[in-house]
Structure formats: C-alpha cells, structure tokens
Amino acid sequence: MSHKFFINPESILGTVARLFAADGAQLEVAVLTYSNPEIQETGYDNWNGGTTYFSLFLQVPITLYPQLESEKGRLEKSISDKLEIFLQGQQNEALSNVNIVPAIVDDPQWREKASAWLTGAKLTNQGRVRSSNVAPLTQDGLLFRSQPEIYLYKALKAQGVSFAPLPVFIRGGDSYSRIEPDFFLIHKGISLVVEVDGDTVHTETPAEAQARTRTLQQEGVAVERISASECNTQEKAQESANKIMLALKKLKEAK
C-alpha cells in the first residue's frame, strides 16, 4: 500500500508548513500555502524488491514565482529535507525531489496582454523580488501579501483617498535602505503609512516592524498600525478605513 503522502500530500504539507512557521521560515510557508501540489511517478529501481520514485511539483502562482526564483534551489532542498521527517524508513517508495514551478494559466488573451506589457501599459513599482516577505496575492492587477490587505485596499478605494499599496521606497547614500510599506496614503497634504500587523503567514517582531518604517518616520511620515484581525472581513476593513481617515483628519488639524 502506498504511503498516504504519495496518494494525497495535503495533510503532511500542512504540517510541514506549521513546522516552517515555527522556525520563522516565511518563504517556505508562502510556497506551501499558495502552491498547488502534484505528485508524479518519475522513476523505478527493481533492486532489493523494487523502489518507486516520486517527484513533488509545487505549482505556485505566476505572480509569486518571480519573487522566489533567486531562492528556488534552497527552497526546494529545504522543503525536501523537512518532508523526510515523515517519509524516513519508507520502503519501496521514495521522494526523489521537490520542484517549484510556475502554475500554468490558460489565458487565450495572453498575446494581447504581453503586447500591452511591452508597451509599458502594465509596469508597476510595487515590491516584487528583493524581499523575504513575498506578495503572492493579486487584486485589480496589484500585489498584496494577505487577504486582510485586499479587504483594506477595497475599503480605502471606496473612501476616495489617494494611496499606493505596497510601494517601494529607496533611501540612497551610505545608509541605503529599501522598504515596502503595506499602504502609503496622501490626503490634503498629509502623508500616512498604514501597516497591517499579525498576518498568520507573514509575521515579524515589533522591532522588525519598527525598523521597516523607520526611514519614512525620520522624514516626518506618520505611521498607523492595525491588526489583521481588524480587517479580516470586508465589514471590519471598512471600519478600519474609517479609523484611518479619522487619523488623517487629526494629523491635518495638528499640523
């Protein structure tokens, strides 16, 4: 009888994701969370009763794959090593490798979209590659790190305020830094960064969160932090958006 992993890998992959989360391994958790796993038989060795070899293909969204490419080999080995915890001692079946691949998207309009991209119609300054805190989700062609961020995006858009989700800010010179705040708002001459804290997939310590926005704070930009639990539904996100608009109003009055 085949090991349950080779029949349906979901439960074991979920457990492996929890182990990586306990280690703070954000990229591994992102790959396992947002990929579609597929097991394929890729080899057979008839020595000593025979061994069937399988490969695990983790098909990740096309928006996520470019953010992982530089770490692809390390991630594949890391996930494979962790899976061995559950597969060690298994006879007659073995996992030969883990492969992270882009999910194939059946899009009959891909040529038109590629042509638009070549003309610059779809260029974006959003954070994509040089961050361990990847943005695997999309809404309206924009990248987001979590569903609560998407809910908040929709709520802010309904407010009519000018804002940028996941923009890239560079500080040059000897103290070079690159940061990607969750949202950057501009309203009546006031700039405000909004950070969504406490996402279950991408986590950081308070010190890391503070360091990530320090560059902008030093330039006089205010920072408003809200928890993911405050915008994990569209209704809650609307309430959070109202609070953000109130914060902008108070900042304007205090100026």
Cα→Cα distances 120→24, 74, 141, 156, Å = 37, 33, 14, 26
pLDDT for residue 1 is more than 60? no
- Where among 102, 135, 158 does a domain terminate? 102
Q: Do 128 and 96 share a structural domain?
A: no
* CATH number for position 26: 3.30.300
Q: Which long-range contacts (CB under 8 A, 24 or more apart) does 69-72 make?
A: 69/129, 70/129, 71/27, 72/100
DSSP 1: -
In a domain, 108, yes or no: no
Rg of the chain over all Cα atoms, to the nearest angstrom: 22
Is the separation of the CB atoms in 133 and 202 below 8 Å? Answer: yes
Q: Chain-wide mean pLDDT for the chain?
A: 86
Cα→Cα distances 71→19, 84, 131, 177, Å = 19, 20, 11, 21
Supply the DSSP string of 175-214, one letter for each residue: T-EEE--SEEEEETTEEEEEEEE--SSS---HHHHHHHHH
Question: Does 172 or 57 have the greater pLDDT score?
Answer: 57
The helix/strand/coil state of 103 is: coil
The number of domains in the chain is: 2
Could you list the residue range(s) of the whole structural domain that residue 200 is in? Answer: 124-254
| The residue type at 105 | V
Q: Over the stretch 137-196, which tens digit does the pLDDT of each residue have?
A: 888 888 888 899 999 999 999 999 999 998 888 878 777 777 888 999 999 999 999 999
In a domain, 119, yes or no: no
